[in-house]
Structure 1
Amino acid sequence: MTAPLPASPVLPAAGQGPLHVAVLCHTGAGGSGVVATELGLMVAAAGHDVHFVGQSMPFRLAGQHSMRGPYFHQVGGFAYALFDQPYPELAAANALSDVILEQGIDLTHAHYAIPHASAALHAQSITGRSRVITTLHGTDVTLVGTEPAFKRTTRHAIEHSDHVTAVSHFLADQTREVFGIEREIEVIYNFVDSERFRRVSDPGARLRVAQPEEALLIHISNFRPVKRVQDVLEVFARVASEMPARLLMVGDGPERPNAVELAIKLGVIGRTHFLGSFPDVQGILGISDLFLLPSSNESFGLAALEAMSCEVPVVAARAGGIPEVVSDGVNGFLAEVGDVDAMADAALSILRSPERYRQMAQAARATAVGEFAPELIVPQYLAAYRRMLE
């Protein structure tokens, strides 16, 4: 099944004619899928031919259609009693091979080492064409890649890709350490569309969620254990005991039931709203006051960057690549993993001081616009594409 996806605001095209790019990515609400789809749209807007290949349409693009592309090609499935479990890598490699041959694909951008880079390399072997660039996003190295069942496969995918990028210096260094490899890993940060992610000026939008005197805190994630969503509730409970406040929990995942149970136990369930997952988070971020990110490991922290673009300071754990995005004491505060008291104190120090809040909110926006704009980041990917093909 092939369906066109919408185009984004046009960026200048890198010369030498249009590229023909296939994209493999996770299509759910996780950060890697968001980055992959946003990048694919930007590359297409720069005048290039982009084809997404996946089991479902990417999360932030579902239900949107345009005749201008990029295009989506669905990976087929096959049920057979002999197979105890599905084989997503083989199915993706087969679908990608068809797209490579039918669409004249020059290169495949695989977001995540397993299964996407492995599928791209398999399709490259089948077709005898299409260079492979792999972007590492975090858990493909820190979680999946360290699992003994996948470690050799992950190392092979990284070592044999034509080019490898990582979303932070932390992740690039950790990849070399975990797999004992010396190959070049180019660091290209994630980006945020600051025209879309900006403060919501309509006061009525905020009044639908919180009263004027209430501080509005927010957390967005896929509710996996690494996100430490129970720490979010612990921090909020401490804040709410000191001042009127509400908490928005955006996302879904295995830790949600435990989070709801803890909210009840802490007595904050009436001021905590579990909103589930939805693609257009900019509206809810644009009315929020403070973003909480207590994760035990984040290779970058895309949701934090999106919050910063909306003039929302961040209180986060000092973990992984977060310090490459959040500057302690400038656009937010950092504390040690699990130190909910320090995070609550930091949150209160921001929310109780209008002047400090104003300074941090402005610094957050300035960081997003000045260091992580698409106009700065997307050309780095286009340059990497060109170098591979040359």
Structure 2
Amino acid sequence: MASGPRVLLLAERFPPDIGGLARSGARTAGSLVRLGARVDVVAWTRAASPGALETVEDAGEVSPFAKGVTLHRLGLFGQADLSMQHTLDVLGYLHARRRYDLVWGHYLYPPGFLAVVFAKSAGLASVLSARGNDVDQLMFPPGDFARLLWTLERADVLTAASADLGRKMAVLLGRDPGVEVIPNAVDTALFSPGPGDAALRERLGIAADEVVLGFSGELRHKKGLPFLLAALTEVRRVRPACLLVIGEVRARDAEHLLSYRAEHPEAAARIVVSGALESPALIAEHLRLCDVYLQPSLWEGMPNALLEAMACARPVIASDAGGIPEAVDSGKNGFLVPKALLNHLGQACLDVLGMPASEREALGRAARERVVARFQADAEAAVLERVLARAMPRSSA
């Protein structure tokens, strides 16, 4: 379907960046290609010189999700305003050569705002995708409410990672804009149940008698970093345990670990950080080591990492932030802790770890069944196809 629409997707993060936002961007771009679109992605990076534009002709080289996507990585300047102005110049340069039909902003700011600005200036259709806490960040100080509202009002089609995000956008607009909920999709063949790899456990230095509390992604405050540390402390008062961070700790949040290490040196020594894992298969291997997976987020869209852990049939404990309750039925396929009561996360861990093995296994099976039923690629593709038809009705007819 080489005659499909040309789509320009702007992403704040894209592989090889880690985290759910990067993976969902790659997955969206790759899914659009499989629907017949010709997709270019522009993503910012600090790995390139400021203002430098680097092109990867097939982004399948950096992510298996993005096969067939052309990736343009743009070096950031030290100042956000310079980066944004330069980005608009680059978008104009690319459009003159590629002739796009649709501009897609993946995350509300800055990519969503710039996508709508560029689309309006070039006379193109635009799609805006809310992914996580981007609505909340711009709603409240020091966020820019006026910019948020301007962007929402002028996008041709609004999409969201969860129904919760869609409701928030409808509240802000004072009307129902017909937000399309694009469910995150998990490769359930890759993220699947199985025994933990003993050799991997040994390489990570996890003792045979330790229970593994797991977290996946970029650990930072919004993901509940303080509550994870407090839970580790509480669990270790009762039984040997470690916290396995499958990913990295955001640099500016590392101070929390330093202060924790000063107060709880023995517990801090049992925080195992894998570092960035480029392969989804490696992430799945690490998830299978977890006795319980934790997602104590303060703000959320629909976390990929949680769904991947559920697909691996891990017992999960999560907050009720954002769209998480759309995936987790508390007591049936996992447990929810209210955001206001995340100080009880440690006790929730002990309660789950104290369950008979058969009950924990049943919990994990139910978690996987939910992902298989609602968060597969075919469900995502159906919504994306509808979004394309709404954004460009003439070309989709």
TM category (shorter chain) comes to 0.7 to 0.9
Q: Which amino acid aligns with 1:22?
A: L
Tell me if the contact between 1:139 and 1:145 (Cα under 8 Å) persists in the aligned partners: no
Q: Could you tell me which residue of structure 2 aligns to residue 21 of structure 1?
A: 7
Q: Quote the residue 1:204 is aligned against.
A: 199
Give the Cα separation in 2 of the matches to 1:319 and 1:125: 33
What does residue 284 of structure 2 align with? 282
Correspondent of 1:325 among 324, 327, 344: 327
Distance 1:37 1:151, change over 3 A: same
Mapped to 1, the partners of 2:290 and 2:368 lie a distance apart of 14
Is residue 2:237 matched to residue 1:251?
no
Measure how far apart 1:157 and its partner are.
Answer: 0.9
Rounded to whole Å, the distance in 1 between the matches of 2:353 and 2:228 is 16
Q: 1:180 to 1:224 in 2, by over 3 A?
A: farther
Deviation at 1:95, TM superposition (A): 2.0
Contact kept, 8 Å, 1:77 with 1:91, in 2: the verdict is no
Unaligned segments of structure 1, at least 5 residues:
1-12
| Residues 30-62 of structure 1: CA deviation (Å, up to 9, x unaligned) | 43232111221232244431111122389xx69
| Residue 380 (structure 1) shift | 0.9
Query: Which residue in the other structure is 2:126 paired with?
Result: 132
- Structure 1 residue matching 2:146: 3-state secondary structure: helix
Write the letter of the residue equivalent to 1:240. R
- Could you say which residue in structure 2 is the equivalent of 1:193? 187
Aligned-residue sequence identity (percent) comes to: 24
2:289 maps to a residue whose letter is I
Matches within 5 A, 1:100-179: 100-129=95-124, 131-147=125-141, 150-178=144-172
Alignment partner of 1:374 is 2:383: no
Corresponding residue SS for 2:230: helix
**Alignment root-mean-square deviation, CA:** 2.8
5 Å-filtered alignment, 1:226-237, equals: 226-237=222-233
Task: Note if contact 2:60-2:69 (Cα within 8 Å) is conserved in structure 1.
Answer: no
The answer (yes or no) to whether the contact 1:216–1:247 under 8 Å persists in 2 is yes
Write the distance in 1 (CA, Å) between the matches of 2:120 and 2:170: 25
Which of 98, 122, 134 is equivalent to 2:93?
98
Q: Is the 8 A contact 2:333 2:366 kept in 1?
A: yes
Q: Judging changes above 3 Å, is the alpha-carbon distance between structure 1 residues 365 and 274 closer, same or farther for their aligned structure 2 residues? A: same
Distance in 2 between residues matched to 1:217 and 1:263, nearest whole Å: 18
Q: 1:97 to 1:181 in 2, by over 3 A?
A: farther
Does 378-387 or 214-223 show the bigger shift? 214-223
Q: 1:301 to 1:263 in 2, by over 3 A?
A: farther
Q: Residues 4 and 37 of structure 2 are in contact (CA less than 8 Å); yes or no, is this contact kept in structure 1?
A: yes
Q: How many angstroms does 1:375 deviate by?
A: 1.6
* 2:38 aligned partner: 49
Secondary structure of the equivalent of 2:96? helix
Deviation at 1:232, TM superposition (A): 0.4
User: Hey, what's the Cα distance between the residues in 1 that align with 2:301 and 2:376?
Assistant: 18
Aligned to 2:72: 73
CA distance in 2, matches of 1:285, 1:149: 35
The one-letter amino acid paired with 1:258 is H
Q: Against the structure 1 CA distance between its residues 98 and 386, is the aligned structure 2 distance closer, same or farther, given a 3 Å change threshold?
A: farther
Work out the CA distance in 2 between the residues paired with 1:310 and 1:145. Answer: 35
Task: Say if 2:213 and 2:243, in contact at 8 Å, map to a contact too.
Answer: yes
Show structure 2 runs of 5+ residues with no match: 46-53
Change in CA separation of 1:75 and 1:204 when aligned onto 2, cut-off 3 Å: closer
Kept in 2: contact 1:263–1:269 (CA 8 A): yes
The corresponding residue for 2:26 is 37
What's the CA shift for 1:349?
Answer: 2.8
* Cross-structure match for 2:50: none
Q: In structure 2, what is the equivalent of residue 3 of structure 1? A: none
CA–CA distance in structure 2, aligned partners of residues 358 and 18 of structure 1: 45
- Aligned-partner residue type, residue 199 of structure 2: G
Distance 2:239 2:387 in 1: 49
> 2-side partners of 1:263 and 1:354: how far apart?
32
Secondary structure of the 1:75 match is strand
For 1:88 and 1:145, the matched residues in 2 are separated by 23
TM (norm. structure 1) is 0.85
> 1:248, 1:182 → 2: CA distance?
42
Does the C-alpha gap of structure 1 residues 322 and 75 become closer, same or farther in structure 2, counting only changes over 3 Å? same
Instruction: Report how far residue 68 of structure 1 moved.
Output: 6.5
Question: What SS does the corresponding residue of 2:216 show, helix, strand or coil?
Answer: strand
Structure 1, 354-363 or 180-189: larger mean CA deviation:
180-189
Q: Report the AA paired with residue 9 of structure 2.
A: V
What residue number does 2:48 align with? none
Is residue 2:387 matched to residue 1:387? no
Equivalents in 2 of 1:343, 1:138: separation in Å? 22
